Structure 1
Amino acid sequence: MSALPRGSVLIAGTTSDAGKSVVVAGICRWLARRGVRVAPFKAQNMSLNSMVTADGAEIGRAQVMQAQAAGVEPTAHFNPILLKPGSDRRSQVVVRGRPIADVDALEYYAFKDRLKEVALESYRALREEYDVVVCEGAGSPAEINLRRGDIANMGLARAADLPVLVVGDIDRGGVFAALYGTVGLLEPADQALVSGFVINKFRGARELLQPGIDQITALTGRPTLGVLPWLDGLWLDVEDSLGLDAARPATGTPHGEEPLRVAVLRFPRISNFTDLDALSCEPGVSVRFVTGPGELADADLIVLPGSRATVADLAWLRDRGFAAALAATDKPVLGVCGGYQMLARTIADDVESGKGMVEGLGLLPTTVRFEKDKVLARPEGEHYGYPVRAYEIHHGRVTVHGGTPFLDGCRQGRVFGTTWHGALENDAFRRAFLAETAELAGRRFVPAPGTSFAALREAQLDALADLVADHLDGPALDALITSGAPAGLPLLPPGGVPHQPLS
């Protein structure tokens, strides 16, 4: 390749979970390895998986992972608008890292003009600072019912004149219909920016796929820039609970005599479930997400993870019969953030649920009160004699009335609680915690020394960059980034859907 690229590209997808986030991460690492100063950007993200930047802003966890791929410190500009659903109809709106409102879908449209300008300001700031900005779309650009107010897909592409690559997930089937249909449903000015396709998660012989690639090129006039093969064990920071069904990090033979089995309650509004990825990375530790108390029977450690809707998910937990099972078990229990709040004696919530005083599970000597202001922090501490770095995202304030200290929270007997996300990513602390919980559970499990969660994450990012380098057309991608969408791309007929100006 000749001159390094300068410019931008938007990676869209035929569906949610088509692989946009990991393709963006792979391109970021591929560019960074070539000496390009690159930043990821997602104008609007809907996710319950978030993190806190060094300057105290809350952004999507996927953008933090992509920033790591790019080798840069994440900022609020990387994800200026974050929507955090609290129910099927309402979401918290986080703008440049700070919550500004809780709205339903219709109320959200009142913010659209303002938020579009916020997103464009952040994009322009990144373009001034970085050589390349790799943008990620949201859902599908062909969600025509949402096009008028779109600020994450073709709305952004049109406003910033971005070339667009559409990623299709062939593992789901119907990839060629999805690629053709995505282009065909767009209005002409949007179609003019769709510059090519990437087929993702391919298993099998490329020769059998080639006739389809040739036909989709002939039908649309757009090339397929590459076919990314299926990558076993990919687990990088998925955006939503769709990713929970994917394989977790592979585990190996335990260092001791027995494996350790971890059961994680899969709340309807589960958040920051990537806390558990570090456990899955330990050889001999098996992590599974459960929805019924019968699945706890053989668990050695039970985890109540984060929740965007603590009181509502606590009610779900009770309705499913988990409360009695947790009270009766003699195995260790860990609550993180929302899960920690559920373990309290009482929860006073006039903010998130509006339910007022609610009885908690009573497994820890704590009480919780929700406050309007959200805590966003990157705390540091020490436990078991090892340093711990973490992050906090919560409205609930926990008051401890007894027990013994555990990180920022407390412990009583076999039950542990903390508001700190990411604590288990600290290797020495994680191994000490697993050793103690294994002893409490009566398991002959010894954590293997030397497992580095950070090194495993870096290896995943490098593997993604290798996929991009080996299977995408690098010169064509460079040309798109630098020169934009080619002129004169053919327009597809609307397929029965009238094209009307929506911008």
Structure 2
Amino acid sequence: MSGALLVAGTTSDAGKSVVTAGICRWLARQGVRVAPFKAQNMSNNSMVTADGAEIGRAQVMQAQAAGVEPEAAMNPVLLKPGGDDASQVVVLGRPVAEVTALSYRPMKAALLEQVLASLADLRSRFDVVVCEGAGSPTEINLRADDIANMGLATAAGLPVVVVGDIDRGGVFPALYGTVALMPPADQRLVAGFLVNKFRGDVRLLRPGLDRLTALTGRPTLGVLPWLPGAALDVEDSLGVPTGVSSAGPPHGEEVLRVSVARLPRLSNFTDLDALAAEPGVLVRYATRPEELADADLVVLPGTRATVSDLAWLRATGLAEAVGRRAAEGRPVLGICGGHQMLARTITDDVESRAGTVAGLGLLPADVSFAREKTLGRPSGEALGHPVRGYEIHHGVVTYADGAEPFLDGGRAGAVWGTTWHGALENDGFRRAFLAEVARAAGRRFVPAPDTSFAAVREQRLDALGDLVAEHADTAALWRLLEEGPPDGLPLLPPGGSSGAAR
């Protein structure tokens, strides 16, 4: 078996990533060797593979769902937005160019060849490859040089399942219109639909599903119920919640409150997932100084645009509030770009090309941006516990004397800075760090002694596998994987010449 299919969506955030992960987990449970694939991902939420390649964090999560090691071929093209109209292009895990939306388009023909080669490589080594689309497959202004949706599907002959988000409303016109706007060659690959995020009695939906089938000639292959907490390792910071996490009862006497600066170009925000999974820890995202007032810990997270986001931090008043906290000895943690903001000076002739600007001056350090990106999987020890993480940065932080080393960064009083992403996923270190924060904040908070973040993630991935196994037409999915796109699917106007003619 060397099957593959493409999971497309009517919109961004329709649920393509979690459906892909769910199908991967369902197949892996059947003993199928399965790999995820996303031809082109636009995201600042990325990770480093074991061999030092940078890929989208969603594909790392999907590889975990499949029970395989993530690799560059699973996400051959990654676009990392750094400004209003600029992105870094990462190909097979390595940065190759900075582009605008228009200057990127001439590159895509060559990138399609790389995408197809990566997909063919995975198909030669795995039983099944589950591909995830990007945005909508019916971006008619971009179809001519598409490499991530129907351009990929037509080039590789992939059957396509379209996911619609019913929680947004308008799922029936979205599903119908997605197919109807496609040219005939694309329509012939769309084998069916999945309705996602449904709340209520599915019997109420049945007349609409039957009518959709009558209009399109394509079945609905499942109605997936709303699953709280299903969005793992989201690609876009727009998916980051604006409220607070659900903390549960604290192990000690008090809850620990964490406020995270919601930077405009926030990256690697999954660094905070491990804190949000800890009993008794409330994580919330802040855009105003008053939202830091009662926080026991303030986090400056990663960013794709350190200098620009530092300017935003100052414009909102958050920078001044963070400075007051540090002066009072109240805990502050900076991660990667947030760590760079804590330095005295930042010299950037690479990303922002702003030259030397003043940092927050809360750590005795200076930052200089290197043209070569640092990508790595470091390991070490901190607070008496082993720690493993990953690094993705151009900024190099150099410390003066007087700072205590901390995860390749430093600590001064209650201010910590680290270049490592993923450090908080290490259970022993996370508990020790939270205990330090609680002491500095004067809280009677005691971290739970047995929280396993890896186990929490596995439970969430199992829930996605259950979602597919229990609510999707798995027999139909098997047929698509074994036989490819069905023959004789009707064409819809305007893709067809005379309505739903065969």
Superposition TM-score, scaled by structure 1 size: 0.97
Q: How far apart in 1 are the matches of 2:164 and 2:209?
A: 12
Query: Following TM superposition, where does structure 1 have runs of at least 4 consecutive aligned residues deviating by more than 2 angstroms?
Result: 245-251, 495-499
1:216 aligns with 2:216: no
1:412 aligns with 2:412: yes
For 1:432, the equivalent position in structure 2 comes to 432
Deviations, residues 450-486 of structure 1 (Å, cap 9, x unaligned): 0000000001111110111101111100001111111
Stretches of structure 1 lacking an aligned partner (at least 5 in a row): none
For 2:372, the equivalent position in structure 1 comes to 373
1:153-192 to structure 2, matched below 5 A, reads 153-192=149-188
Q: How far apart in 1 are the matches of 2:497 and 2:358?
A: 52
For 1:463, the equivalent position in structure 2 comes to 463
For 2:25, the equivalent position in structure 1 comes to 29
For 1:257, the equivalent position in structure 2 comes to 253
What is the deviation of 1:161? Answer: 0.3
For the structure 1 residues 247 and 219, does the alpha-carbon distance in structure 2 shift closer, same or farther, using more than 3 Å as the test? Answer: farther
Q: Are the aligned partners of 2:187 and 2:495 in contact in 1 as well (CA < 8 Å)?
A: no
User: Which residue of 285, 307, 310 corresponds with 2:306?
Assistant: 310
> Root-mean-square deviation (CA), in Å?
1.5
What is the deviation of 1:252? Answer: 1.3
Number of equivalent positions: 495
1:452 aligns with 2:448: no
Q: How far apart in 2 are the matches of 1:341 and 1:114?
A: 36
For 1:229, the equivalent position in structure 2 comes to 225
Deviations, residues 204-247 of structure 1 (Å, cap 9, x unaligned): 00110111100100010000000000112224111111211288
Which amino acid in 1 is paired with 2:390?
Y
Q: How far apart in 1 are the matches of 2:269 and 2:336?
A: 11
Q: How far apart in 1 are the matches of 2:78 and 2:12?
A: 16
What is the deviation of 1:495? Answer: 8.3
For 1:145, the equivalent position in structure 2 comes to 141
For the structure 1 residues 247 and 189, does the alpha-carbon distance in structure 2 shift closer, same or farther, using more than 3 Å as the test? Answer: farther
Which amino acid in 2 is paired with 1:373?
E
Deviations, residues 94-145 of structure 1 (Å, cap 9, x unaligned): 0000000001011101211111101011000001000000000000011111
Stretches of structure 2 lacking an aligned partner (at least 5 in a row): none
Q: How far apart in 1 are the matches of 2:442 and 2:247?
A: 21
For 1:118, the equivalent position in structure 2 comes to 114
Q: How far apart in 1 are the matches of 2:362 and 2:144?
A: 49
Q: Are the aligned partners of 2:166 and 2:196 in contact in 1 as well (CA < 8 Å)?
A: yes
For 2:356, the equivalent position in structure 1 comes to 357
The DSSP-based 3-state class of the residue aligned with 1:144 is coil
Q: How far apart in 2 are the matches of 1:496 and 1:189?
A: 10
The DSSP-based 3-state class of the residue aligned with 1:145 is coil
The DSSP-based 3-state class of the residue aligned with 1:124 is helix
Deviations, residues 383-403 of structure 1 (Å, cap 9, x unaligned): 111100000000000001131
Superposition TM-score, scaled by structure 2 size: 0.97
Which amino acid in 2 is paired with 1:456?
V
Q: Are the aligned partners of 1:234 and 1:248 in contact in 2 as well (CA < 8 Å)?
A: no
Deviations, residues 409-450 of structure 1 (Å, cap 9, x unaligned): 100011000010000000000000000001101111110110
For 2:490, the equivalent position in structure 1 comes to 490
The DSSP-based 3-state class of the residue aligned with 2:142 is helix
For 2:338, the equivalent position in structure 1 comes to 339
Q: Are the aligned partners of 2:230 and 2:464 in contact in 1 as well (CA < 8 Å)?
A: no
Q: Are the aligned partners of 1:185 and 1:497 in contact in 2 as well (CA < 8 Å)?
A: no
Q: How far apart in 2 are the matches of 1:454 and 1:250?
A: 18
Which amino acid in 2 is paired with 1:161?
G
The DSSP-based 3-state class of the residue aligned with 1:119 is helix
Which amino acid in 1 is paired with 2:351?
E
After TM superposition, the structure 1 stretch with the greater mean CA deviation from structure 2, 482-491 or 53-62, is 482-491
Q: How far apart in 2 are the matches of 1:323 and 1:207?
A: 52
**Identity rate of aligned residues, in percent?**
71
For 1:69, the equivalent position in structure 2 comes to 65
For 2:15, the equivalent position in structure 1 comes to 19
Which amino acid in 2 is paired with 1:348?
T
For 2:289, the equivalent position in structure 1 comes to 293
For the structure 1 residues 496 and 195, does the alpha-carbon distance in structure 2 shift closer, same or farther, using more than 3 Å as the test? Answer: closer
